[in-house]
Structure 1
Amino acid sequence: MNQYNSPSDIAILGMGTALPAHPVAQSDIAELIASSLQDRPALARFAKRIFKSCGVETRYTVEPSYLGSLEECRYLPSGERSDIPTTEERMNTYKREALPLGIEAAEKALEDSGVSPKSITHIITVSCTGQYLPGLDVMLIRHLGLSARVNRLPLIFQGCAAGLKAIQMARDVVQGAPGSQVLVVCVELCTIHFQPVQDREALFAASFFGDAASSCVVGTPEPQHKNYLSLGTGYSVLLPDSTEDMTWEVGNLGYDLYLSPRIPKLLGVHLQEELRLLLQSEQRPELWAIHPGGRGIVDSVQNVMKLRDEQTKYSRDVLRTYGNLSSNTILFVLNAMREDMKLQDQSSTDGVAMAFGPGLTAELMKFTYVPSLSSVMEEHDHVLF
């Protein structure tokens, strides 16, 4: 038993995820993009190769135009087109599509946790793919029936690391104000920012992002809570010499994303020391919830930490089935891990969660899967006596 595994833990009490109605095969998107590059055959061949090798098989989108022909897709036009969606149009799509997904994920998390909407004291909303006011937090409060006095904490434009950052913020809120119940809701509509491909760098960004929402409730476990994730210590760190390796800026035709091919190598160089700092002298945990920002990132963490294939399967499965879901992805990984642990009737098991975003930022956190509060108390008594 580690030092933070005690009956007074702060934990993720429930989780929920939601996907748009439109699944798209990775091979279909690759063909769509290749068709838009008929006048640039070398880039078209590169696109097919990148899309095939990035570890994604299926993605989900709120935008049905990706399901049709090239002539019907304004996001990836061929030739000279003047009707590419503007940033304003894309934000209107976000405003229309984000709320229903956020509501679905949040309702699932509340039900899973057994926490009443009226008991929620804080709501943390996370997104880097859209903004408007009154924002997603206000709309969720009204549609979910939360108190009008709930403390609102919007966490915007923080990239893929923001989901785990929100979880750590929620833990700190409960630690500082015992009795608090924090609802975290992440919504990312990455596919509304697809743009005409101009170079190879743009293809990396287009090759693995998808749309989704996720949610969790963070609070103090009660006897009725089962299969929860106890939240341990963690922190955020800026990795050196990497400021320009991941950027996300507002442009006239949506948000412009740049991902450097150096990112997996940078993580490989710096993560081992950071994880040593996080774990101190503790035994290396069994569970590893790695944000699958791409296949290369999972490969890098696995190689550096000498992990077994089964320890990275949750991250790889999420990447393959849904793609990179930005801030949502870590909650998808944690939820899949928890469900598998529940199915296998596992005892309390320690883990590490990590996510990465612009900065480069690494969010790192220890956690423990706990089958029930009574099992924790039994372990605690066993240690004492």
Structure 2
Amino acid sequence: MRNKRYSYVGITASCPNVRLLAHLRNAVRRLYPLELISIMGIGTSVPAYCLDQEDALRRLREALKERPEVARWAQRIFTHCGVDTRYTCEPNLLEPANRCRYVPSTPELTIPTTEERMTLYQKESILLAVEAAQKALADSRNRPQDITHLIMVSCTGLFLPGLDAELIWRLDLRGDVHRVPLTFMGCAAGLTALRQSEEIVRREPEARVLVVTVELCTLHIQPSFDKEHLFTAAFFGDGASACVVGMTDREHSVGFAIRKSNSVMLPNTLDKMKWTVGNYGFQLHLSPEIPGLIAKEVPEVFKSFWGDDSLPAFWAIHPGGRGIIDSLQSAFHLSDSQTGASRSILRQYGNMSSATILFVLAQLREDQFRTNEGFKDGVALAFGPGMTVELMRISYQP
């Protein structure tokens, strides 16, 4: 008796039994799944006030006119950190040095306290988060009532009821939406939220997860001419971003699909990034060893995660600073075009902590759509306190 012929997704086989056919079908589905966990839509927002780097440096030099050595050091940092513009929710940061409450020459009684900064955070963070979320919902073509899970991310402010509760009412989300607040986790938390959304959708294929991140980093500029404080004041900015993650049909999926993800803590690095509450906002410590540690440790972490496949075609690197991008470009021998999106976001917006990675992904999506080069494999990387490395394998679906 002749064997029957079967065809599945372009593969034709002569199969003596149904078990072999089922095996072939399962193998094809693993390689080319009919449904994908996708970033269905992205939205971003920034405050109204733009900090031009040259103008900020001019006003800082004015404040440092009695400290020429520190002024020269600040000049180098502000000029070479890779930032041209940033955005802030605090208009006072655009005032001349003698009227800016955040410079050390300001009388102590007028320096904004942590309480004042948190009051401004509560007001401005809600507005930015709502705007980014509305854009993500529109971009994904989801209605607010479609959302089953809300992941809210921030490390630059706290209040209760929190941003998650505010968003439910302001966006008209369902009252029974599952809320997952990720607070005080630092720059890597935007990718942490994407990883958690992937895990949710993998467990619950009907889920629609709204991820919202908002960071007002400039509220924590310290009234100090200490070099470490001046360094962090040089490249952090404010912004919010959001996305919707859900299962989509391969034929109708356009944008980024999430393939897999992981999070790894690097040993003996707990003291390299610190974020603590002070009397005048939150105080940030970033070790100058961070770029070197990333160049040394991340290639092995990446190899374990990625396997023996060819290196990714595109890279979404969290632009935590110019040194971090430089170290990864050197370690993986990346082209300028492969780091272009990360450098572009750093140049235009600075480091917006957890919100930044979705800005980079939005830029990459625009780039991929414009070049129209078809399916591509990529990776997203972010780094946070711990030190934590977040990794995500993604693909662009044209």
Q: CA deviation at 1:60?
A: 0.4
Residue 136 of structure 2 contacts residue 243 of structure 2 at CA under 8 Å; is this kept in 1? yes
Q: CA separation in 1, counterparts of 2:140 and 2:31?
A: 21
Matched, 1:27 2:66: no
The Cα offsets for residues 182-224 of structure 1, whole Å up to 9 and x where unpaired, read as: 0000000000111122321112211100000000000011478
Matched, 1:198 2:225: yes
Q: CA RMSD in A?
A: 1.5
Matched, 1:140 2:167: yes
Q: CA separation in 2, counterparts of 1:72 and 1:187?
A: 28
Match of 1:375 in 2: none
Match of 2:209 in 1: 182
Identity score, percent = 49
Match of 2:388 among 361, 365, 385: 361
Give the 3-state SS of the residue equivalent to 2:315 in structure 1: strand
Residue 12 of structure 1 contacts residue 216 of structure 1 at CA under 8 Å; is this kept in 2? yes
Mean Cα displacement is larger for which, 224-233 or 57-66?
Answer: 224-233
The Cα offsets for residues 300-319 of structure 1, whole Å up to 9 and x where unpaired, read as: 00000111111000000000
Residue 187 of structure 2 contacts residue 383 of structure 2 at CA under 8 Å; is this kept in 1? yes
Residue 247 of structure 1 contacts residue 258 of structure 1 at CA under 8 Å; is this kept in 2? yes
Matched, 1:301 2:328: yes
Residue 31 of structure 1 contacts residue 48 of structure 1 at CA under 8 Å; is this kept in 2? no
Residue 36 of structure 2 contacts residue 249 of structure 2 at CA under 8 Å; is this kept in 1? no
Q: CA deviation at 1:250?
A: 0.4
How has the CA–CA distance of structure 1 residues 18 and 86 changed in structure 2, closer, same or farther, with 3 Å as cutoff? same
Q: CA deviation at 1:366?
A: 0.3
Q: CA deviation at 1:80?
A: 4.2
Matches within 5 A, 1:62-211: 62-78=89-105, 80-211=107-238
Match of 2:295 in 1: 268
Note the residue ranges of structure 1 that are not aligned, 5 or more in a row: 372-385
The Cα offsets for residues 329-381 of structure 1, whole Å up to 9 and x where unpaired, read as: 1100011000111122231110000000111111011000112xxxxxxxxxx
Q: CA separation in 1, counterparts of 2:280 and 2:118?
A: 11
Q: CA separation in 2, counterparts of 1:85 and 1:177?
A: 45
Q: CA separation in 2, counterparts of 1:144 and 1:128?
A: 22
Mean Cα displacement is larger for which, 226-235 or 53-62?
Answer: 226-235
Mean Cα displacement is larger for which, 187-196 or 234-243?
Answer: 234-243
How many residue pairs are counted as aligned between the two chains?
371
Q: CA separation in 2, counterparts of 1:287 and 1:296?
A: 19
Q: CA deviation at 1:231?
A: 0.3
In structure 1, give the amino acid aligned to 2:94.
L
With the length of structure 2 as denominator, give the TM-score of the two structures: 0.90
How has the CA–CA distance of structure 1 residues 5 and 275 changed in structure 2, closer, same or farther, with 3 Å as cutoff? farther
Match of 1:379 in 2: none
Residue 102 of structure 2 contacts residue 222 of structure 2 at CA under 8 Å; is this kept in 1? yes
In structure 2, give the amino acid aligned to 1:282.
D
Q: CA separation in 1, counterparts of 2:206 and 2:255?
A: 17
Q: CA separation in 2, counterparts of 1:2 and 1:281?
A: 21
Q: CA separation in 2, counterparts of 1:220 and 1:85?
A: 45
With the length of structure 1 as denominator, give the TM-score of the two structures: 0.93
Q: CA separation in 1, counterparts of 2:286 and 2:327?
A: 16
Q: CA separation in 2, counterparts of 1:357 and 1:41?
A: 34
Match of 2:378 in 1: 351
Match of 2:357 in 1: 330
Q: CA deviation at 1:78?
A: 1.6
Matched, 1:292 2:315: no
Residue 13 of structure 1 contacts residue 225 of structure 1 at CA under 8 Å; is this kept in 2? no
Matches within 5 A, 1:173-252: 173-222=200-249, 225-252=252-279
Q: CA separation in 2, counterparts of 1:214 and 1:245?
A: 26
Look at both structures and tell me which one has the larger radius of gyration over its CA atoms: 2
In structure 2, give the amino acid aligned to 1:271.
V
Q: CA separation in 2, counterparts of 1:155 and 1:346?
A: 36
Q: CA separation in 1, counterparts of 2:139 and 2:252?
A: 9
Q: CA deviation at 1:4?
A: 6.3
Residue 236 of structure 1 contacts residue 361 of structure 1 at CA under 8 Å; is this kept in 2? yes
Q: CA separation in 2, counterparts of 1:309 and 1:40?
A: 38
Q: CA deviation at 1:75?
A: 1.3
In structure 2, give the amino acid aligned to 1:350.
D
How has the CA–CA distance of structure 1 residues 35 and 4 changed in structure 2, closer, same or farther, with 3 Å as cutoff? farther
How has the CA–CA distance of structure 1 residues 223 and 79 changed in structure 2, closer, same or farther, with 3 Å as cutoff? closer
How has the CA–CA distance of structure 1 residues 140 and 5 changed in structure 2, closer, same or farther, with 3 Å as cutoff? farther
Match of 1:8 in 2: 35
Q: CA deviation at 1:40?
A: 2.0
Note the residue ranges of structure 2 that are not aligned, 5 or more in a row: 1-27
Q: CA deviation at 1:33?
A: 2.4
In structure 2, give the amino acid aligned to 1:227.
V
How has the CA–CA distance of structure 1 residues 224 and 95 changed in structure 2, closer, same or farther, with 3 Å as cutoff? farther
In structure 2, give the amino acid aligned to 1:353.
A
Match of 2:24 in 1: none
